Structure 1
């Protein structure tokens, strides 16, 4: 399936493809290089435990340490299932620049401040949805919620993919929680700006998660990717002017806001 076919398929979810509004010269950066999305299903748990400033996550409470220990034990158990391909626990490193200005006009949207996450990849979306309804998962959620002030759980499929995200070794992992007034435009503007990250940061992987509709979940897509080191990504977000004039400006023009958080393996 080519990129246009994928876009058409995703647009059918919203009825029709809306017109992307472009800020600045069109195609200023190379188009994103996409590969076929996976057929996997995903179960994603994100929890807010410690309230810290953007660079203060190196200080961890005992509650957070206990939660991470419990989630890592659960991840090991899940890997014994034939339906589970990967189960990985992450903890926040830093909240980088990039939060969308649109959120000031959308006070109903919950700002993502999740400092612990668990991502489970299943063989199929149906397997992820089935496990999300299981007694084992509900018991795990009850236990986790006792240690967190806020949590979300989503099942999801893979809407776009630059390449597989390597969880076998540590690095800098992004979960970018998007809110958009239009899912269709969110997908289009992600597609249009993702080439900037390839060109300016050397990004060669990304799994874009498309959450299944669920009451109380305001995130339209969640992007997940990896770099080797903070210096591969952070300077570009801090000092590269085109991050704001191209990436963030096109998000804003299309009523889309990002809430990025950088993580490491727990």
Structure 2
């Protein structure tokens, strides 16, 4: 992956007209995102998670306990555990075209920890409760991913106090700048077609240690707010996915609920 400020957005199907999304000021927070694949989805052709194994039930309960303990720390803003619901449509064609060895996001348990600033991430990584949380997830996972990140772009705050449907979209791109530009360009479609009014885009602090270029996180009230648009709106492919492909960007979305 390269990072070039000279990257230019390649637009296809420019006859389609969706408003550009309005961004709010990014946060100064630091973020730690942990993702683990524990259970398999029901079927490859039906990528939903209907039942949790006993192992996963115990794991999630322990992760919630540890996150509750972390949340009592002064410099921790939020610590939340998520369980996957479904792998929705949206991976696009670039994954089939690239020669890069890309790990397909398959994570059914995710944790997002927000701390008050970037220096506090070092405190987090030295915290015994956090270290127990990370090792507990890694030991239980068949695949595992962890990054520290910053909030590069933001539509609005993501509400973790109310249950709903939460997206973590794991992007792989040849160029970080193109990834950021095409994410912003296509976000207007989600606002217009799904009512999206929140999003926190996470940029890994150390891109060499991350499988993914950026990770987008946002929330809807329920599956009916997002799934029908992904399944039945033709412009999801022609405006969103084809522009991702034209910019060598591969989204890997997973929808979650609060654990």
Q: What is the TM-score normalised by the length of structure 2?
A: 0.93
- TM-aligned CA deviation for residue 78 of structure 1: 0.6
Distance apart, 1:100 and its partner CA: 2.5
Change (3 A) 1:129 1:255: farther
Q: CA RMSD in A?
A: 1.6
Deviation at 1:14, TM superposition (A): 3.0
Partner of 1:16: 5
Query: Does the 8 Å contact 1:48/1:149 carry over to 2?
Result: yes
Unpaired runs of 5+ in structure 1? 1-12
Distance apart, 1:121 and its partner CA? 0.6
**1:41 maps to what in 2?**
30
- CA positional deviation for 1:146: 2.1
- CA gap of 1:146–1:218, structure 2 versus 1, over 3 A, is closer
CA displacement at 1:242 relative to structure 2 = 0.3
Q: Counterpart of 1:146 in 2: which secondary structure?
A: helix
Distance in 1 (CA, whole Å) between partners of 2:151 and 2:15 is 27
Is contact 1:172–1:263 with CA below 8 Å preserved after alignment?
A: yes
Which segments of 5 or more consecutive residues in structure 2 lack a partner in the other structure?
none
What is the SS of the residue equivalent to 1:167?
coil
Q: What is the rounded CA distance, in whole Å, between the counterparts of 2:144 and 2:178 in structure 1?
A: 27
Distance 1:128 1:26, change over 3 A: farther
In the other structure, the counterpart of 1:185 is: 178
Measured in 2, the distance between the counterparts of 1:84 and 1:27 equals 42
Asked if structure 2 preserves the Cα contact closer than 8 Å seen for 1:44 and 1:117, the reply is yes
Distance 1:133 1:110, change over 3 A: farther
2:203 matches 1:210: yes
Task: Tell me the matched-pair count.
Answer: 254
What is the DSSP-based 3-state SS (H/G/I as helix, E as strand, rest coil) of the residue aligned with 1:118?
strand
Q: 1:93 aligns with which of 78, 85, 107?
A: 85
Q: CA deviation at 1:131?
A: 1.3
Are 2:35 and 2:146, in contact at CA under 8 Å, matched by a contact in 1?
Answer: yes
**TM-score by structure 1 length?**
0.91
1:79 to 41, 59, 71: 71
SS in 2 for 1:186: helix
Deviations 1:87-133 (A, max 9, x none): 11000011100013111233501000100011011000221243124
- Residues 33-74 of structure 1: CA deviation (Å, up to 9, x unaligned): 110011111011100000113443111111111110111001
In structure 2, C-alpha distance between the alignment counterparts of 1:206 and 1:172, rounded to whole Å:
13
State the 1:212 CA deviation: 1.4
- Alignment of 1:241 with 2:234, yes or no, is yes
Distance 1:80 1:117 in 2: 20
Partners of 1:132 and 1:155 within 8 A in 2: no
- Is the contact made by 2:125 and 2:131 (CA closer than 8 Å) also made in structure 1? yes
Q: Quick check: 1:177–1:221 contact (8 Å CA) kept in 2?
A: yes
1:1-266 alignment, distance < 5 Å: 14-25=3-14, 28-52=17-41, 53=43, 54-106=46-98, 108-266=101-259
Q: Which whole-Å CA distance do the structure 2 matches of 1:136 and 1:74 have between them?
A: 6
